[in-house]
């Protein structure tokens, strides 16, 4: 009967040792994966901060764009107005030249 107890205790010890080995391996794997996840989280945070910086720059550009940009239609209209004024000025100068030569 003592042989059965010895065998039982040996097997119980073997199961306990095996369980400890498995728990140690699991702990090692989980620790390594946690470190990898923390590194990835830091990388995501860094990328997020960069994106926030780009978003701020884009919003600033959107705010500054109306002040620095002239639409094509506005430019053409302005150019037509200037050309019309220059044509009138040329006509006035020609009229003055004609008056001087005839009068």
What is the DSSP track for the chain? -HHHHHHHHHHHHHHHHHHHHHHHHHHHHHHHHHHHHHHHHHHHHHHHHHHHHHHHHHHHHHHHHHHH---HHHHHHHHHHHHHHHHHHHHHHHHHHHHHHH-
Question: What is the rounded CA–CA span in Å between residue 78 and residue 37?
Answer: 59
pLDDT at 51: 92
pTM, two decimal places: 0.46
As averages over each run of 10 residues, the pLDDT of the chain (103 residues) reads: 85 93 95 95 93 92 84 91 95 91 78
């Amino acid at each position: 009967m003592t042989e059965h107890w010895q065998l039982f205790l040996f097997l119980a010890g073997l199961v306990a040792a095996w369980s400890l080995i498995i728990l140690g391996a699991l702990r090692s794997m989980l620790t390594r994966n946690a470190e990898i996840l923390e590194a990835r989280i830091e990388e995501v945070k860094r990328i997020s901060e960069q994106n926030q910086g780009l978003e701020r720059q884009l919003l600033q550009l959107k705010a500054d764009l109306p002040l620095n940009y002239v639409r094509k239609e506005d430019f053409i209209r302005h150019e037509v107005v200037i050309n019309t004024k220059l044509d009138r000025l040329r006509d006035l100068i020609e009229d003055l030249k004609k008056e001087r030569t005839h009068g």
